[in-house]
Structure 1
């Protein structure tokens, strides 16, 4: 995930205000304006002369930039950069910055080597694209490969501690979090976007499941639901596999009646089964392949729900290769 910086040179206060409201990670401003910008928001503000701009027109330029980066300097590659030299720099440094003058350039920079540059310096000519650049290059985490799985069992299992993940975002129909008893098989647990006659919709909330369950996080990490905390970023996924990031405002853990839900997916390697424990209540829903929320109360064998399959094996949320079996 690339960080987004806005270069406000020449200085214009209304541009800085728009950039900060759009969610940029930092601002580059004339040195005499640094304190003024820093008073507007708690985010990094770099003086213009603290971020060198370097054009790459020959191999020697690439080598010179790499030497400066390794020396701790901030260097942004001037607009007009090409992918191969940037790849070469990324392979040797985690501090590569590049300029972008429109959405397409920013999107390209964010996808180089599948991880993107450390920072995208958005130029004033891209101001109209800035909100979309933040959405696509900072918030988006690429796509998750979802597939339908068939419910095989729904069974009450008594009481357990369940986790409500309340985000700072208003989620929409089709969105939720990937949760499961194994990181190798997670279910798209739908946000509480639906009204019923007893309870108002709470589109900021995902009633995600039991404390022990895994949930997928940004950057291909996982966490136990019981370890989530306020201020942490979580991965939001929709029925099409598109992803985003939301920040947790609150985590509620309470004892509630629970259901064991089992499903199986038909893969190239045969049938693969997975399970998840969810609260036994009408407002908790999984997600049908068309994005429709399916209440766990009415869920039955034969229903299709969206899931994600992966290889098992995590250590402190990081992917590892080892022999592991989770049942």
Structure 2
């Protein structure tokens, strides 16, 4: 899940607030929410804000075990901003292991890099106290690139067969993707293939690097919040997970979804005892990602080829991961 970036501007600075909004920060701490809202739509933490200090958000200065325990206790009521004079002395791991509502207070890009380096799945994000627009933009870029890293596996193609006509989903995002990037999609919630974005040149159509022709309407896609969604249910404003061939991920926003009837292919593959399948459009522009991290068209894939995917444990209930036995075929 993407970590949030809050910017502490209780010492007001309009230029810094503008930089925070334009850089994609998630919230601003301020003594007056109205003057933030005059600049743009963004969540505010203020007495008159979207989140209220002392009610929804708490602050703790970490000094010792007692203050650590206090932070954990307060996190049961709301988000907790934790600050310290030296993150190398009091590690975040102690807090992260006990709460997913901890926000690390940092003052510059170096502290932000250190905090992001230890912020694992359970942490909520960081709050930056710095009015330099350049620092705000740099830290925002760091946070946007700090998504979870997926452990990808190599799958051996077993068969690629025609699957008749059906409805497939093109996911047009508000971001440009690079070679090697795409969406994690699968017929079942236990395994996914990396479906490549339309970034490559083609004799028939121009590249559309904002698009992933992701598969048939019934398929699952991994979302930015760790849940899954049926491709047919995606809509403008949803946040999907984009993965690279090395497992690095980022969050992007869906701008449009196109569902159209097209000829389909059933791709079946296996990795050890795990089998997966995915129904994709039968077209040269639809590509998976090979073991060599290069895009390969579904019309060229043959049994024995290696492609990248992911194996998930447990099952899914309304998109949430659950530890129970679910049989999907």
TM score, norm. by length of structure 2: 0.85
Of 130, 141, 148, 1:124 maps to 130
1:194 matched to which residue of 2? Answer: 200
Q: How many residues align?
A: 321
1:17 matched to which residue of 2? Answer: 18
Question: Cα 1:59–1:299, aligned 2, differ >3 Å: closer, same or farther?
Answer: closer
Give a deviation string over 1:250-295, Cα, whole Å, max 9, x none. Answer: 1111111000111222x3xxx4321111001111111112322111
Question: Cα 1:149–1:24, aligned 2, differ >3 Å: closer, same or farther?
Answer: same
> Are the counterparts in 2 of residues 102 and 126 from structure 1 also a CA contact under 8 Å?
no
CA distance in 2, matches of 1:279, 1:250: 18
Give a deviation string over 1:5-26, Cα, whole Å, max 9, x none. Answer: 1123543322222221111011
> Are the counterparts in 2 of residues 175 and 190 from structure 1 also a CA contact under 8 Å?
yes
CA distance in 2, matches of 1:7, 1:67: 23
Deviates more, 1:134-143 or 1:288-297: 134-143
Which structure has greater helix proportion? 1
- Offset of residue 306 of structure 1: 0.8
Deviates more, 1:117-126 or 1:237-246: 117-126
1:219 matched to which residue of 2? Answer: 225
Q: How does 1:52-67 map to 2 (within 5 A)?
A: 54-65=60-71
Q: How does 1:23-172 map to 2 (within 5 A)?
A: 23-31=24-32, 34-47=33-46, 50=53, 54-65=60-71, 75-81=81-87, 86=92, 89=95, 95-110=101-116, 114-124=120-130, 128-138=134-144, 140-172=146-178
CA distance in 2, matches of 1:65, 1:206: 42
> Are the counterparts in 2 of residues 69 and 75 from structure 1 also a CA contact under 8 Å?
no
1:299 matched to which residue of 2? Answer: 301
Question: What is the root-mean-square deviation of aligned Cα atoms in Å?
Answer: 2.9
- Offset of residue 101 of structure 1: 2.1
TM score, norm. by length of structure 1: 0.86
Give unmatched runs, 5+ long, in structure 1. none
